Chains A and B, each alone.
Chain A
Amino acid sequence: MPLKAPRTSMPAQDPAERSHNFKEVALGYTAEMAKTEASRCLDCKNPLCVKGCPVEVDIPGFIRAIVSDDMSGAVDVLKQKNNLPAVCGRVCPQESQCESKCVLGIKGESVAIGRLERYTADWDMAQTFKAPEKPEPKSERVAIVGSGPAGLTAAADLAKMGYQVTIFEALHTPGGVLMYGIPEFRLPKAIVQQEIDYIRALGVQIEVNAVVGKTVLVDELLDTEGFDAVFIGTGAGLPNFMNIPGENLNGVYSSNEFLTRTNLMKAYDFPNYHTPIKIGKKVAVIGAGNVAMDAARTALRLGAEESYIVYRRSAAEMPARHEEIEHAEEEGVQFRLLHSPIAYEGDEKGQLTKMTLQRFELGEPDASGRRRPMPIEGDTVEMPIDTVVVAIGQGPNPLVPHSTEGLELTKKGNIVADEETGVTSRDGVFAGGDIVTGAATVILAMGAGKKSARAIDAYLNAKRDQ
């Protein structure tokens, strides 16, 4: 195969059609496409791609197996490092991780590692389910707080080591943001469900409707409930608002509420599902990250005639994944860049009717390296609007941090934990994922769960030997 062979594109649902349904947008490779794409990999001796992967998947290893038609071998290699490959293959920001390091990317296009990962995981899911082998059981019990990617990964790894693991989840469904945040059309819930079933098959108990800090405290898990260690992976579940006039009008949602109603509560299927959502003709989403793209695309699917991304910087600074921005554009999402709301107004019933936008220009780069948005004095514009979704980031939810004795917190309220081990200021308590780092990515949360699982094993081994 010549070096210059182009990257194999992945089929997708037609934009005109998909912008009205919640079915998955990207359709995945066929066996033939996967093999063609896999053959582009140079099987490097010193594979740089692996360095770009937070969980160090043996990328050339699983790709080599695809080339030689050994799909179950590919699955084995992948699953050694990644408990949720079908999820990561879909939502990892590959272009800034593994694929950004691939040597082929220097002169041409990098190998489509994410798409191959997805193909391999999907192949595996289509096979008849084999219960994983159970290891020699250990006597210690570990409690995991939160069932997002950090918690699920820590749980799976600890279960594989033989520990007795129980996950405590506040909501009625496990999965964290994978279930309540990321929409069905980007990450089908059936896939997350299968990954969770696999983790249950490893022997992990999942207790839903358990709000740690309310139903049970971390201190009680350790002192009276008989757990030997606790991992906290409660995510970044506190919506930021802008505190501008009119933000409490009907029609202004946080992205969390908007997406939770739609995804977790399935408001898109109202009234068959009983949770309502209100969607006007004209929707504006404030922000330009993955969350904002998800909300803007969801709005179209819920019937909005116009859906806008309103962002105070320019296109170059938009933090969302490339593919998501492209998909949003194709579906008809419009971009109001260098604008940000400063006030909302409503009618006599308290329903939002319009917003005032401040115009911005870009100044010098700020601490994040992105050019700082500067308001243009006196330059405002009014925009009639029915629904606004505020997607400007998340803070740490204080329920667990504030109800646990002796847990050191940052100024913002995140838990202070060692990056390599998740060790906190409290003996026997580990933490990782968004609750430590602030809103980040699925794969980083999984990486943190993995590292903590190793550290918990070391901690319990040391205790046992004492």
Chain B
Amino acid sequence: MYKIVRKENLGSSVVQFDVEAPKIAAKAKSGQFIIVRLDEQSERIPLTIADYDREAGTITMIFQAVGFSTNALKTLEAGDSILDVVGPLGTASEIENYGTVVCIGGGVGIAPVYPIARDLKEAGNKVISIIGARNEDLLFWKDKMAAISDELLIATDDGSAGIKGFVTDVLKSVMDRENVDRVWAIGPMVMMKAVANTTRPSGVKTIVSLNPIMVDGTGMCGGCRVQIGTETKFACVDGPEFDGHLVDFDLAMRRSSVYKTEELQAVEHDHQCRIGGIGKCH
């Protein structure tokens, strides 16, 4: 059992947990992830390691309640425990001094981009961070991001914070104004695709973090396979970070939606149980 030592609501649907997991905290590197299982019936839910405290032996996870399992996770409180937490999984980000780096976090993708931006800053890079979301409610960690960035820029679709527009609009203006050596982009698949398309003409290497549907996270099932150039890779062990210019985003998006019907069914079943309805409930 892994105890939640702190819970913070970062908006109406985004939650932060700090969880006791000393072995994972000791090993975690930016870019890596964990898999959690809430209880005996639970799915295995992959989440990025948003931060870690090696001394306290805790790791930080930030998730958006989007479906059945993340909503169930959201009901836990500080003091409660998660049945299983396994990690750190995946390969670490390649941190070097590249020069000027733009780090882009979209929505809940702000969480995974934070430790990467921090490490890039420590490695001597000039870090320009761009965070964006549909609206202000979905933005978080502005201060944390500002503290480790040379510059922090914000974009929202509705203009409720920062400029009104997409992170790619902001990225374009940054690239117009100065030389950029590398870009990191983590967020919804459509955003990462748009960022990759934005940097493609100039050839600025762009790293994205893919989040295909996973089961084990150890390279055993092959469910997380993604197409990178001419090769099929397993995102859980070969990634999750890949060269954005080589990723087949359309395939990745189609693969991510394979269980849409079942995902709705899970929510519906749970709803029926709650209203004292039909069927076998747990």
Contact = CB atoms under 8 A, between A and B. Distances in A.
Interface string A273-302: 111111000000000000000000000000
Interface string A22-49: 0000000000000000000000000000
Interface stretch (B81-89, B94-102, B155-163, B190-198): B81-89
A208 B86 CA distance: 9
Contacts of A266: 41
Interface string B269-282: 11000000000111
B259 A276 contact: yes
B57 interface: no
Contacts of A215: 23-24, 27, 86-88
Given A214-B89, A271-B265, A273-B41, A238 B84 contact: no
A239 interface: yes
Interface stretch (A253-261, A361-369, A453-461): A253-261
Contacts of A257: 215, 221-223
Contacts of A274: 41-43, 68-69, 266
Given A209-B84, A271-B269, A278 B220 contact: no
B255 interface: yes
Interface string B190-219: 000000000000000000000000011011
A272 B282 CA distance: 7
B255 A276 contact: no
Contacts of B86: 170, 172, 209-211, 215
Contacts of B263: 276
Contact of A248 (B88, B227, B265): B227
Interface in B232-282: 232, 237, 251, 254-255, 257-259, 262-263, 265-266, 269-270, 280-282
A123 interface: no
A350 B222 contact: no
Nearest to B85: A209
B219 A397 contact: yes
A315 interface: no
Contacts of B258: 250-251, 278, 350-351
Contacts of B41: 266, 272-274
Contacts of A188: none
Given A243-B232, A248-B232, A237 B218 contact: yes
B266 A276 contact: yes
Interface in B22-51: 23-24, 27, 37, 41-44
B225 interface: yes
Interface residues of A, number: 42
Contacts of A350: 251, 254-255, 258
Contacts of B254: 250, 349-350
Nearest to B41: A273
A278 B282 contact: no
Contacts of B68: 274
A270 B84 contact: no
A216 interface: yes
B262 A397 contact: no
A349 B24 CA distance: 38
A261 B218 CA distance: 15
A175 to B, nearest CB: 14
A266 B215 CA distance: 12
Nearest to B84: A172
A92 interface: no
Interface string B130-173: 00000000000000000000000000000000000000000000
Contact of B255 (A239, A243, A248): A248
B84 to A, nearest CB: 4
A211 B24 CA distance: 10
Contacts of B88: 214-215
Interface in A221-239: 237-239
Given A208-B84, A250-B255, A265 B215 contact: yes
A77 interface: no
Interface string A361-388: 0000000000000000000000000000
A271 B257 CA distance: 18
A253 B258 CA distance: 12
B42 A260 contact: no
B217 to A, nearest CB: 8
Given A170-B86, A215-B24, A215-B86, 5 more contacts: A170-B218, A172-B84, A209-B85, A276-B263, A397-B218
14 contacts: A172-B37, A211-B86, A211-B218, A237-B220, A239-B222, A257-B223, A261-B215, A265-B215, A272-B282, A276-B265, A350-B254, A350-B258, A397-B220, A398-B219
Interface of A: 170-172, 208-211, 214-216, 237-239, 241, 243, 247-248, 250-251, 253-254, 256-257, 260-261, 265-266, 270-278, 349-351, 397-399
Query: 5 tightest CB-CB pairs across the interface, nearest first?
Result: A350-B254, A276-B262, A257-B221, A209-B86, A271-B269
Interface of B: 23-24, 27, 37, 41-44, 68-69, 83-89, 215-216, 218-223, 225, 227, 232, 237, 251, 254-255, 257-259, 262-263, 265-266, 269-270, 280-282
